[in-house]
Chains A and B, each alone.
Chain A
Amino acid sequence: MNAPRHAPPDYLTPVIYHTLLALVAEPRHGYGISEEVSAMTQGALTMGPGTLYGTLNRLADKGWVAPTEVDDVEAPHADRRRYYRLTDQGRAVLEHEARRLARAVHLATDHSVLDAS
């Protein structure tokens, strides 16, 4: 595992966490990301365009995601959109956060907040 350049933050906001998660399987364009996030959370988290691109901007600044070229054969050239992929660093941050959340869930189970099932 590559060591993150910046120390990972204590936790990720739900928007950032889900955005990163949406990019694990494959690079996606903007609308694809918000659709995927919406699907993952059963619509609980809806990202508008400003939130989405603001987030992507900041994640790109941190080096967690990167714009990428995807050969989209269906899209005419003029209509080619910007795709985003998860960087190794981004994946590391996501993994770090997922572990933290897992520990947190484990803790809740230990304290019988959640059922162990």
Chain B
Amino acid sequence: MKAFRGEGAYRLLLHLLPPGFRRDHGDEMVRWAREHADRTSGARLWPLLLADLGRSLAREWGGRGAAAVRGLGGVHVALRSFTRRPGFALLAVVTLGLGAGFASTVFSVVHGIILAPMPYPDAHEIVRVGKISDGRAGILSVSALDLEDLQTRNRSFASLAGSRPASGILTGGSEPVVVRTAMVSASFFEVLGTEPAQGRRWSPDEDLPGGATVAVLSHEFWVRNWGADPGLLGGTVEIGGAPFTVVGIMPPGFQPPEALYQKGTEVWIPLAFLDPEARANRREQFIQMLGRLRDGVDAEAARVELAELGREISRDFPEPGERSFGLAPLRDETVGAVGGRLFPLLGAVGLLLGIACLNVANLVLIRSRERRAEMAVRVALGARRGDVVRQLLLENGAMGLLAGALAAALTWGGLRAFAVLAPGELPRLGEIAPGPGPLLLALGTALALALVFGVGPALLTRDAAPAPGSTRRSTGSATDAWIREGVVAVEVALSIVLVVGAGLLANSLFRLNGVPLGFDPQGVSVVSVSLPSDSDDETRAFYREAVAGIGALPGVESAGATVHLPLSGNQRMLRIRVPGLQLDAEDEERGGLPVHYQQVTPEYFATMAVPVVEGRGLAASDGPAAPRVAMVNQSLARVLAPDRSPVGLRFALSDDEGEALDYEVVGVVADLRQQRLDAPGEPELFFPFDQWPTGRMEIVARAAPGAPPVLPAMRARIRELRPDLPIRRSVRMDNFVGSTLSDRRFFSMVVGGFAVFALVLSGVGVYGTLTYAVSRRRRELGVRMALGASASTVLRTVLRRGLTTLAVGSVVGLLGALAAGRAVSSMLFGITPSDPVTLASAVLGVGAVGSLAVLVPALRASRVDPTESLREE
């Protein structure tokens, strides 16, 4: 029987029932609800469940509940105190609820992405294995032969698996679907400790070249496309035109590791289907490796062995040069740098929660002052200390529960919204779900804070309760005022830290949007295709026809192709040798200057509006038989020939045998942002596609201004040429550029939202405290005015008091912002954490809100009518 919608919430609600009853019947009640869910709609199920639960609560707690009420006493008093001052209660509940809700949302996200173990059995044993290189971060891919060598020679791993992403079109269902597939070794499932839930995976024998045409599907893919038809097991699907037998279905919810670029992969086939040429070539390093450490072997020992194996394999097969192997925990590789950006978010929400707590504490302080008389009367009528404390606990407990309910609701919505709105490159998004953990965290946080900050301050000042009979209206002690204003000053300070942080992020985003890209994305559209392993001639012919065909479409001004789009973050590197160029020792040893490289068609630069600044561009005449040529970008030109033109320079690729300087630099193009918006251009080489064809290209086309969208026609053109070819991506270049900023936009938005909330809270804090102070001093102010003080004198007195608090808070806040700035410095662009404009704007912003909050009570004070205020006694 399957779970019904909202079952988790129902289970949570059942905790309201007496524990004994829940133990005896809780599971059966859930089962009842499931059965009923099968027979009725959710819209009718939930009202029934809730009404039933309400009745059951009354009945099952019945006797005990009445006793509890009698025993605790004062619940009605607590409730009455709410209804008497609904504004106060509402403000406290909302403040605390929002604060705790935001905090538990962000914490749950950070926990789910960074702290929680990966969703595999004994996940700590799983590591990413591969090549390491001093110049590049992370674990790199290896060749198929290296994988085999490591598999047979290592003693540290219980199993080692290789994986290579492949995308394909899958037919066999009702209609063809584009699906992410991956070739993986048989041991892939062992490493992850997850076997197909139905059927089987393949054996190592079936994974040898010429292996079995078998496939394993994800549960979700099977349900989506075959309606969970059990007949598919043993049936045939076509992947990329070749028939595969479906032998297994993974368990529901199985997520392949994102660190292997497997995110979204739903079909797995044996690694045996690697192109035989690629399999035999140690230079074809495309296999991503994953290993599970043997029992009792720690990562350090495995790392030592891998280093040793690297030397051994390089000695035995010196062909592609020195290799060093290394490993990294799967979680670190998955979370990566993006995950680290979440910590500042946690800091921001911590500040917000701090402000919320201080606000509640201040409200309660004020409230307990107001209720001194009430408490004094109670004590006079015979209430004991304990009774008073109990009443405070009850009041704040009830407030905490309400705030907790709000926080839990906010967390539930927040986590769902996060999953939708968060930038796609955040890892492990699929693992974040609003389960009972985050909801209980929200509830517990709000409740605990309500008790600590609600009862604590009241207890601190309770001893100062006046004896009955003393004047009812005191102006409050000076110490109280100090505490209250100190709390407000801290709130102001924390707000400034948050506002500065949000300001810095927004400023970075603004600057990034204005960064010169080096190309013009407006009007450019992209279609990406991957040719299967055709011969070089076929590949050349296909792209020549595709680019020409797209260039001839109506509305298209020009078309070209490149291997990697600008800003895609994808870069390939090789080393070049240039006579007379000074290299540092390391590059010298490694055989040349490291540069990024691309293959492009002659029209690419014109299409992207990248100017050729020196020499000539690439031309159709730079064909396979023509002399080898290349273009350099300006960054590389500066390195190669700092004080003259690099045009005419000759160089060799370090991998090539011999010293022949095969390549000639024919021209220089402007730098374009290849990696990211916030990373300046790096030295880059461009080779003519025809001299170095490759199967996977991005075809770009520039539409004439005002032309209708050309993307559909571009796709159609490709399909006419090769109907079987999946289109990996088709996108407008301006959207693509925008999407590379999506994570920054998201973080700025969230922190900005927190900052606004913080501003409102501290405004409320300032306002509340000052309003209270003024109302306490009505009599005093009345006397002063009766004695001749003018309205403006009174106004000044109150203003001075409020603005002093603001000023103290601002100074402290600025110091805090300077200290906290370092935490976000890695996320900043073109701006330092101590940027004076941002700091000043934050102070002005907080100051403006604060001043408004000061002004209102001050004006009210200046309008005190002396006769009125004195008559009130």
Contacts and interface: CB of A to CB of B under 8 A. Distances in A.
Contacts of A79: 1
B59 interface: yes
Interface in A53-67: 53-54, 57
Interface in A28-59: 30-31, 34, 46-54, 57
Nearest to B52: A48
A96 interface: no
B53 A48 contact: yes
B63 to A, nearest CB: 12
A53 B48 CA distance: 15
A50 B28 contact: no
B32 A51 contact: no
A46 B48 contact: yes
A31 to B, nearest CB: 5
Contacts of B317: none
B56 A54 contact: yes
Contacts of B28: 30, 49, 53, 81-82
Interface string B25-39: 100111111011000
A56 to B, nearest CB: 8
A49 B52 contact: yes
A57 B21 contact: yes
Residue in B32, B49, B57 with the greatest tally of chain A CB atoms within 10 Å? B32
B59 A49 contact: no
A50 B31 contact: no
B59 A54 contact: yes
A57 B24 contact: yes
Report whether over half of chain A's contact residues are helix, strand or loop; otherwise say mixed: helix
B55 A49 contact: no
A57 B48 contact: no
A46 B49 CA distance: 11
Contacts of B49: 48-49
Nearest to A33: B32
A50 B52 contact: yes
Contact of B55 (A30, A50, A81): A50
A31 B32 contact: yes
Nearest to A82: B28
A49 B33 contact: yes
Contact of A34 (B24, B32, B53): B32
B17 interface: yes
A49 B24 contact: no
Nearest to B25: A53
A30 B17 CA distance: 18
A81 B60 CA distance: 22
Interface string A50-92: 1111100100000000000000000000010110000000000
A43 to B, nearest CB: 11
Given A31-B36, A57-B21, A81-B31, A51 B55 contact: yes
Contacts of B33: 49
B420 interface: no
A90 B458 CA distance: 57
B51 interface: yes
Contacts of A57: 21, 24-25
Interface size class of A (residues with CB under 8 A): 10 to 19
A57 B33 CA distance: 18
A18 to B, nearest CB: 16
Contact of A50 (B24, B35, B36, B53): B53
A53 B29 contact: yes
Contacts of A34: 32
Contacts of A46: 48
Nearest to A52: B32
Nearest to B35: A31
Given A49-B29, A49-B49, A82-B28, A54 B21 contact: yes
Contacts of A30: 28, 31-32
B31 A31 contact: yes
A46 B60 CA distance: 19
Contacts of B25: 49, 53, 57
A51 B614 CA distance: 85
B570 to A, nearest CB: 50
B48 A50 contact: no
Nearest to B62: A54
B141 to A, nearest CB: 45
Contacts of B24: 53, 57
B37 to A, nearest CB: 11
A51 B53 CA distance: 8
Nearest to B50: A48
Interface string A81-115: 11000000000000000000000000000000000
A47 B56 CA distance: 11
B604 to A, nearest CB: 63
Contacts of A53: 21, 24-25, 28-29, 32
A53 to B, nearest CB: 4
Contacts of B59: 50-51, 54
Interface string B56-89: 1101100000000000000000000000000000
Interface in B763-787: none
A51 B31 contact: no
A53 B60 CA distance: 10
Interface string B547-579: 000000000000000000000000000000000
Nearest to B39: A35
A47, A48, A81 interface centre (most CB from chain B within 10 Å): A48
Contact of B60 (A47, A52, A54): A54
A30 B26 CA distance: 12
B60 A48 contact: no
A57 B28 CA distance: 13
B32 A49 contact: yes
Contacts of A51: 52, 55-56, 59
Given A49-B49, A49-B52, A50-B59, 19 more contacts: A30-B32, A31-B35, A47-B52, A48-B49, A48-B56, A49-B25, A49-B28, A49-B32, A50-B53, A50-B56, A51-B52, A51-B55, A51-B56, A53-B24, A53-B25, A53-B28, A53-B32, A81-B28, A81-B31
Interface of A: 30-31, 34, 46-54, 57, 79, 81-82
Interface of B: 1, 17, 21, 24-25, 28-33, 35-36, 48-49, 51-53, 55-57, 59-60
17 contacts: A31-B35, A48-B56, A49-B33, A50-B17, A50-B29, A50-B53, A50-B55, A50-B57, A51-B59, A53-B24, A53-B28, A53-B32, A57-B21, A57-B25, A79-B1, A81-B31, A82-B28
The 7 closest A-B CB pairs, nearest first, are A48-B52, A50-B56, A49-B29, A53-B25, A49-B32, A31-B35, A50-B52
